[in-house]
Amino acid sequence: MERGSLSIHAENLLPIIKKWLYSDQDIFVRELCSNAADAIAKRRALGLMGGEAPRVEVIVNKSENTLSFIDNGIGMTAEEIKKYINQIAFSGASEFLEKLSESGEQIIGHFGLGFYSAFMVAEKVRIETLSAQGGPAAAWESEGGMEYAMEEIERASVGSTIKLYLNAEAKAFLEGPAMRELLLKYCSFLQVPIYLREEGPEEAKAGEEAEEGEKAEEKPVNTPSPLYTKQPSGCTEGEYKAFYREIFMDFEEPLFWIHLNVDYPFNLKGILYFPRVRPESIGNEGQVKLYSNQVFVADNIKEVIPEFLLLLKGVIDCPDLPLNVSRSFLQNDGYVRRISDYITRKVADRLTALFKEDRKAYEGYWDDLHFFIKYGCIRDEKFYERMKDCLLYQTSKGESLTLQEVLERAKEGHENQVFYAPNQQGHSLALSLYEGMDVVLLGTPIDNAFIQQIEGKNPGLRFIRVDSQLSDALKGEGEVSAEDASALETLFKWALGDESAQIRVERLRENALPALLLQDENLRRYAEAMRLYGGSMPDFPIPSTLALNLAHPLVSGLVGREQSDDTRALCLEIRDLAELSLQPLIPEKMTEFLLRTTALLAKLI
């Protein structure tokens, strides 16, 4: 038996593996299974599989406190063990760190590095292997990854068995259901079938030596040929929906999907689903799973999937990703950006094609799509350029119009102006003033930033909220005399107890409210931005102007009225009605409003 120390700086290597290369302890499952699949791929490539069916077995043995990973891949000779295991992929720990930090070389796939993740959970690891290329079988064993022992053994089957003797902190991995979940998490689409068994020591030995034919009835844990690897023309709607339910456990059907399948200029396959995105789900990411050669890398990697597309769900597989050894981090280079740009373009192409070919369906999806589309337009210039003619604005009339259509309908004197309201219910009275005009509804948290983006892209365009100014189209016939205006301003300042209050007297349509509360558009947008992004002034006060409608009898009846308790009550009632048409009253003011209203009504009896 040969014994020795590993030709590395061992005191540095294991901390690197445990704390730097791998953020999750369970990652050893992925590394050992994917190494097994690589070994099988090598044996296939050399034409040495014969009649054997490729397979990977994972055996959980509670009584032995072991996990075994068995494959019928290429195997190793004793010399290859020395080369790939003992020398840790030809480099010491210091050289390894230098290679990671200074070069863009993709070093994933070096067997020794992935193998050493086993020591995150094992106090001892044993390899037994027989090479398909000849030579005696060999065994390698190490406790703690510092020293090893090697010997020649008898082994009948080509391939490798890696047995992990788990440490005390890792016994949770001996639970069969938990191991199945990990295999599904990391190896759902591994190209080689994986079989999971739970057994005792005698059964494990018998199972390892069993013939392939005896295991034909077994069902693999994984799906070696997932839907996204097939040609889109060969997939049915039912298959797409079933794949979505299986992967995301979401029984609400997706709106539609994109099947990505490209071989040049890079190899990329996948399916992106457009789920329903309701206002209450805003802020929650979707789940875009990233794979490399059908081996799971991570969820929602923003270098590949643009941030705004993370509201989608899907699977992306790109074998050529420049991953580092942990398979979880991307080298930041132009290749990755090209992949990201391609995915963004394909999403935009799918949306614009739907808009042009079936606008009715597109309009039906808008409630679910608009948040991430608007977010994408803000975050990605190229996405905006592709989507700008397909952006919809829902109106108070129940229509969905493009910006161009809204502007074409604008009345004379309102060219390049878009009137909008945060919502239809809360602003229904204010909206009544805009009868005959298209008022768009913009009520989500992102709309404030979105309309500023659209204004910036269209010089001269202005979005105007219905409670920010009085359009000429809202004004009625007749003028307001200076005497009436002065009298009402004086009366209301007295009633409100605020000489600095902003009071404005206009003659609006007769069917309008007695008063409107107007807020400066720019200041209101600023205050909303502060609240949305957690600024230091979440309660930034917005100055407001009380616009009195002299055409309304409640207001005109106050002209010349003497100051009294009833006059004050009427003025305060008009002010509160104006505020209620804009927003709910705070509890204290609501209590005052209800008591005052009750008292005024009692005088009518």
pLDDT at 99 over 50: no
Question: Does residue 334 sit in the same domain as residue 257?
Answer: yes
Pull the structure tokens for residue 66. 């072991």
Question: Does residue 444 sit in the same domain as residue 567?
Answer: no
Residue 471 lies in a domain: no
The partner residues of 395 in beta bridges, in order of sequence, read 440
Distances (CA, A) of 449 to 186, 312, 403: 39, 21, 16
User: Which of 192, 215, 238 is where one domain is finished?
Assistant: 215
CATH assignment at residue 421: 3.40.50.11260
Q: Greatest CA span in the chain, whole angstroms?
A: 113
Interval 580-592 mean pLDDT: 85
Torsion, Cα 9 10 13 17, to 10 degrees, reads 170
Q: What is the pTM of this model?
A: 0.77
- What are the counts of helices (DSSP H) followed by strands (DSSP E) for the chain? 19, 21
* Identity of the residue numbered 523: L
Interval 581-589 mean pLDDT: 83
pLDDT at 122 over 70: yes
Residue 45 lies in a domain: yes
Pull the structure tokens for residue 406. 């809204």
Q: Which domain holds residue 295?
A: 227-365
Question: Does residue 244 sit in the same domain as residue 207?
Answer: no
CATH assignment at residue 272: 3.30.230.80
Question: Does residue 511 sit in the same domain as residue 583?
Answer: yes
CATH assignment at residue 567: 1.20.120.790
Residue 431 lies in a domain: yes
Question: Does residue 337 sit in the same domain as residue 399?
Answer: no
Question: Does residue 358 sit in the same domain as residue 418?
Answer: no
Pull the structure tokens for residue 525. 């947008």
DSSP string for residues in 413-450: T-TTEEEEES-TTTTHHHHHTTTTS-EEE--STTHHHH
Residue 472 lies in a domain: no
Question: Does residue 444 sit in the same domain as residue 504?
Answer: no
pLDDT at 505 over 60: yes
CATH assignment at residue 123: 3.30.565.10
> How many domains is the chain built from?
4
Pull the structure tokens for residue 431. 């909206």
Question: Does residue 198 sit in the same domain as residue 164?
Answer: yes
* Identity of the residue numbered 391: L
Question: Does residue 310 sit in the same domain as residue 395?
Answer: no
User: Which of 172, 188, 215 is where one domain is finished?
Assistant: 215
Q: 29 near 38, Cβ under 8 Å?
A: no
Return the DSSP state at 21: I
pLDDT at 270 over 70: yes
Give per-residue pLDDT as tens, 298-357.
Answer: 887 777 888 888 888 999 998 877 665 444 555 556 778 888 899 999 999 999 999 999
Distances (CA, A) of 551 to 63, 509, 510: 90, 7, 5
Q: For all residues of the chain together, what is the average pLDDT?
A: 83
Residue 162 lies in a domain: yes
Residue 101 lies in a domain: yes
Question: Does residue 453 sit in the same domain as residue 489?
Answer: no
- Residue, of 438 and 236, whose pLDDT is higher: 236
Residue 370 lies in a domain: no
Question: Does residue 277 sit in the same domain as residue 346?
Answer: yes
Question: Does residue 88 sit in the same domain as residue 174?
Answer: yes
Distance, in Å, from the CA atom of 212 to the CA atom of 228, rounded to the nearest integer, reads 29
Residue 596 lies in a domain: yes
User: Which of 215, 235, 254 is where one domain is finished?
Assistant: 215
